[in-house]
Chains A and B, each alone.
Chain A
């Protein structure tokens, strides 16, 4: 586990050792620490938009004593293997490096427009994903602590639910076709188990969206298998 101060120190080390400008997006617990919603995190999740940037950071982490985990299991989404993150294990923490997508959730222009914070560590720039995007990415996993984090996000921020609906619709086309179903399940669970206030209109819209998409796929004779991601 690391706290925000230690995370900043690690980013400074990376920034000091890079040879060219690198940009990435912090998501998950790492981003939540910057927002002051979380005190510590087990893994630092970073999304890169260029493979060269990811490779550069991976190399710097290796030089700093982080080892690449070799036995990362593939994650299957709708019969397709989603991109595996590169996991760099350190003594107290782990870096999960993603390229363009997080467990099927695609990162695109709109995600970048919604960024709330930018942190510069020399030539290493870390942008912070919006609470809405973090919430949606958390919806793709089945880890208990991701639910805790999501509940905390909804409690502490004015979540713009229109963004959630808009993005869910977009993800069905560019990412996971069943994304609204996953999100519906996730939000309903939060509502029931954490007593979180999720507008009824939103869950209703998500169901309509999911049914519409599934009907479209059925017409094309494309059956999908909905699976969630479980990371140990």
Chain B
């Protein structure tokens, strides 16, 4: 079978069973097809709940150059996974958690922001985080998100100097996600003078 045609036919998320059903073939043959597709670079394996293997099949070949972009980085480092709206690659340097948090907040997308909270545990250079956030005018938003993250997950402690610098920083607009406000994290909002886009219940995903 022509592998490109096969990749076009199976484009999207699949399991071995769904491939077998959609092509009307045996499970064993479906496994062989996945193997052949992977060899050509058309398959990416992801794990669903209970470690069930899922295959993201696409006629787009996964690029081997550069480093993963925001969405791939978040999916590697956070419990809250995101379906990437597009493929992103970074070429000039290996991305760090510090810049990825800032990038995630800049998207203004609720799930991306929520997913990025896990990255606070990967921060190695708080000063760098403060510098990037300040440059992008989201310093106080980063501070508020850090405090929100601390209410639910174990994160590294931010040094006092960074906290002070974030508190003093100027921001562009008070909303992290447009028109979204919290109901139960108001004390954090008050301290940082920004609006948090989620409630405590939204953070429960980190506990599962």
Contact residues of A with B, CB < 8 Å? 4-5, 8, 11-12, 15-16, 34-36, 115-122, 155-158
Contacts and interface: CB of A to CB of B under 8 A. Distances in A.
B55 to A, nearest CB: 16
Q: Tell me the dominant secondary structure on chain A's binding face.
A: mixed
Interface residues of B, number: 19
Nearest to A155: B4
Interface of B: 4, 8, 11, 41, 59-61, 63, 65-66, 69, 86-93
Nearest to B65: A8
Contacts of A155: 4
Given A16-B92, A115-B86, A120 B69 contact: yes
A120 B60 contact: no
Contacts of A158: 8, 11, 59
A115 B87 CA distance: 9
A4 B4 contact: no
Contacts of B65: 4-5, 8
Contact of A118 (B41, B86, B93): B86
Contacts of A156: 4, 8, 59
Contact of B61 (A11, A16, A35): A35
Contacts of A117: 63, 86-89
A115 B90 CA distance: 16
List the 5 closest pairs (A to B, CB-CB), nearest first. Answer: A36-B61, A122-B92, A117-B87, A118-B88, A120-B90
A178 to B, nearest CB: 31
